Amino acid sequence: MAIEGPEKESKIEIIKRESRYLRGTIKEALQDDKPMFSEENAQILKFHGVYQQDDRDLRLKLKKEGKDKHYIMMVRARIPGGVLSPDQYLVFDRLADEYTDYGTLRITTRQTIQLHGVLKGNLKKTIQLLNEALVTTLGACGDQVRNIICCAAPGDEPFRAEMREDLLALVDRLGAKTNAYHEIWLDGEPVRLSEGQTEEPLYGEVYLPRKFKVAMVPEGDNCIDVYDNDVGLVAHLEDQHVVGYTVLVGGGMGRTASDQGTYPRLASPLCYVSRKDLVDTVVDTVTAIVTIERDYGDRANRRFARMKYLIDRRGLDWFRQEVEARLGRTLEPPRPLVWHNGADHLGWHRERQGFSYLGLYIPNGRIRDTETMRLKSVLRDIVREFRPTVRLTTQHNVILSDIPDELRPAIEQRLRDAGVPLPNEVSTVRRNAMACVALPTCGLAVAESERALPGLLPQFEQLFNELGLSNETITIRMTGCPNGCARPYNADIAFVGRSLGKYDVFLGGSRLGTSLNKLFKELVPFDQLVDTVRPVLEAFVREREPGEDFGSFCRRVGLERFRDTEPTLS
C-alpha cells in the first residue's frame, strides 16, 4: 500500500512499524517482575485491549514516600453490538472480584466492559479467562476498527437479526488478523506464512493512523449517536426488513482545547448501499472507506489523524470518488433520514410472544455494590438464576432480554430488595445523563467526571422541578477532558474538563444526536456550573415555541445574549 503524508512519522507510527504485527516484547515483559511495561509495549498493548494506567489518587502519597506509581491495567473487551450470554457476563463479574483493585465493572459508551485496576501479574490470566468464555480483547483499543456498535434493543422483527448478521460480517472483515494475540496471551504457536502472504492483509504493518469507529442503527432510532462515528450505517426498513443502508462518514467527538484546528464533527451522508448482496455492497463499501483512511490519514500529527480531518482537507467529493475507484462502481446517492428517538431503551418492553426485556438504568455505567444499592450482586444473582441475555447499550445501561413474562414480578422484587430503582423510578435528568470515567484511572483526565456528576445531578433535578422541566428530555454529559468519550459535543448541556475543578460549558446540541452544541463559557468552576446554565433554561421556559426542545431553542435564539450574564446564584 502507498501511504501518503510527510516523510516524518510520529513516534507511535515507528513503534507500530517495529512491533512485528503487535508483538513488541510483551511476551517477554510478562515474565519479568516489573509492575509496568515499557512505553513501547504500553502503546502496542492498546491494540490488545489493554491500557497501562496508575491510580492517580495515590500519586502524591507514593511520591512523598519515595515510591513509584501504583501501576494498574485497564482491560477492555470487544463485544460486537454489546451482546453477552449469561455465562459470559458472569465471567466478567468474577474477574472484577478476583483480579481488579476496584471490584467493579464499567460499561462503556461503545457497548463493552472495562475492568479497572488489573495488576500486571494478573493480566494474562484475566485475558485467558475471557477468551475461554469466547470474549476477546483484541481490537477493543488501538489504531484499528474498534468495537462495532449497534442499537441494543432486542425483538422479533426481522431487521434486528439482519442487522446482527451484517454487524458480524463487518467484524469478521475488519478485525485484526495478527497471530500475536494468540502467541502472547493464549500460548499459541507462531504461524509460518507462505511467500507473498501477510499477517495483516487489511491493515499492513502500521495499521491505521488513529482509532476508527463504526456504528449501525435502524432509521428513526438514534439511541447510539450514529453521527459521532467514522462510519455510520443507517438501516432503511421495508416490511420490517433491511433493504439497505445510508452510509455516513467522518464523525468524531475528539478535540484538543489548546488547538483551535481540532474540532468535533458529525458524520456526513455519503451514499446508499443495497443489502441484496451483503458482501459486495455493505462490507466492501466500509472496507474501501477504511483503506482510504489507512492510505491517506495523517501519520505525522495524531491530533489530525482521524478520518474527519482527511475528509475536510480533501473534500467529500474527492472521498466519494476514491471510494468508487476502489469499488469499481458508482455509488448511489444517500437517502434522506428521519429521526424520532434518541433515548435509551429503558424499562419493560415486549420482545416477542411471551417474553419481555428490561432496560435497566446503571448510574454512570458503573456496576458496583454500595451501602444503599447492591447493583453488582443483584445483577449477578438475576443472571445466574434467570439466565437472561445481557445487552450493553451505548448510553452505558444494561438490557436484560429473553425474560419470560411470568418472571417479571420476581425480577422486579429482586431489584427492589437490593435497592436498585426501576427506570420509571429514576428522574428524567438522571436517565439522560452520562459521564466518562476520568479520575483516578484515566491518564488523560484533567478534571473529575464520573465521580463529579452524581453531585451535580440533584442540583439539576431541583432546578428542573422549579422551572417545570422535570419531564423534559434534556441531555447532560460530562467529560474529564476534551477528548469526548461521553459524547458531550452533541448533548443539550455538556461540561468538558479543562483543569481540576473547572469546565468548559457547551449548550445547544440535540436530543436526537443530529446537531453539535456550541461553546458557551470557559473554565467555569464546578460549584457554578448549574447557576451558569440557569439563565438559559429560564429563558427557554419563557420563550420556547410550541413543541420546541432545549437544543433547538439554543440554536434558534443563539447564545450570545447570555454570555455576559453573571451566574444567578441559587
Classify the C-alpha dihedral 382-383-386-391 as positive or negative.
positive
Residues 481 and 538 in one domain: yes
Residue 94 belongs to some domain of the structure: no
Residues making up the chain, counted from first to last:
570
Output the domain CATH number for residue 538: 3.30.413.10
Residues 368 and 469 in one domain: no
Residue 423 belongs to some domain of the structure: yes
The pair phi, psi for residue 52, each rounded to 5°, is -85, 125
Residue 268 belongs to some domain of the structure: yes
Output the domain CATH number for residue 364: 3.90.480.10
| pLDDT at site 6 | 46
Distance, C-alpha 382 to centroid of its chain: 26
Of the residues 341, 362, 386, the one at which a domain ends: 341
Determine the residue type at 537: L
Of the residues 287, 312, 341, the one at which a domain ends: 341
Residues 301 and 415 in one domain: no
The pair phi, psi for residue 15, each rounded to 5°, is -60, -45
Give the DSSP H or E segment for 218: strand 214-218
CA distances from 229 to 305, 438, 518 (A): 14, 21, 19
**Cα distance between residue 483 and residue 489, in whole Å:** 10
| pLDDT at site 3 | 46
Residue 150 belongs to some domain of the structure: yes
Residues 335 and 375 in one domain: no
| pLDDT at site 237 | 98
Cα-trace Rg, the chain: 23
Residue 314 belongs to some domain of the structure: yes
**Cα distance between residue 476 and residue 551, in whole Å:** 11
Of the residues 277, 308, 341, the one at which a domain ends: 341
Residues 334 and 351 in one domain: no
Residues 333 and 384 in one domain: no
pTM, two decimal places: 0.96
Q: Which position has the grid cell 500475536?
A: 180
The pair phi, psi for residue 186, each rounded to 5°, is -115, 10
Residue 71 belongs to some domain of the structure: no
Residues 6+ apart with CB under 8 A from 346: 359, 360, 361, 397, 423, 426, 431
**What count of other Cβ atoms lies within 10 Å of the Cβ of residue 65?**
9
Residues marked active site are found at 76, 146, 211, 213, 436, 442, 481, 485
Residues 307 and 396 in one domain: no
Residue 386 belongs to some domain of the structure: yes
Residue 475 belongs to some domain of the structure: yes
| pLDDT at site 145 | 98
Residues 355 and 411 in one domain: yes
* Of the candidates 320, 392, 346, 381, the residue with the CA atom closest to the CA atom of residue 82: 392
| pLDDT at site 101 | 94
| pLDDT at site 170 | 97
What does the pLDDT profile of the chain (570 residues) look like in tens digits? 444 444 589 999 999 999 999 999 999 999 999 999 999 999 999 999 999 999 999 999 999 999 999 999 999 999 999 999 999 999 999 999 999 999 999 999 999 999 999 999 999 999 999 999 999 999 999 999 999 999 999 999 999 999 999 999 999 999 999 999 999 999 988 877 766 778 999 999 999 999 999 999 999 999 999 999 999 999 999 999 999 999 999 999 999 988 999 999 999 999 999 998 766 789 999 999 999 999 999 999 999 999 999 999 999 999 999 999 999 999 999 999 999 999 999 999 999 999 999 999 999 999 999 999 999 999 999 999 999 999 999 999 999 999 999 999 999 999 999 999 999 999 999 999 999 999 999 999 999 999 999 999 999 999 999 999 999 999 999 999 999 999 999 999 999 999 999 999 999 999 999 999 999 999 999 999 999 999 999 999 999 999 999 999 999 999 999 988 766 555
| pLDDT at site 5 | 47
Residues 355 and 302 in one domain: no
| pLDDT at site 278 | 66
The pair phi, psi for residue 217, each rounded to 5°, is -160, 145
| Tally of structural domains, the chain | 3
Domain of residue 222: give its range. 145-178+208-341
Residues 254 and 391 in one domain: no
Residues 229 and 336 in one domain: yes
Q: Tell me if residue 53 falls in helix, strand or coil.
A: strand
The pair phi, psi for residue 436, each rounded to 5°, is -80, 175
Residues 504 and 480 in one domain: yes
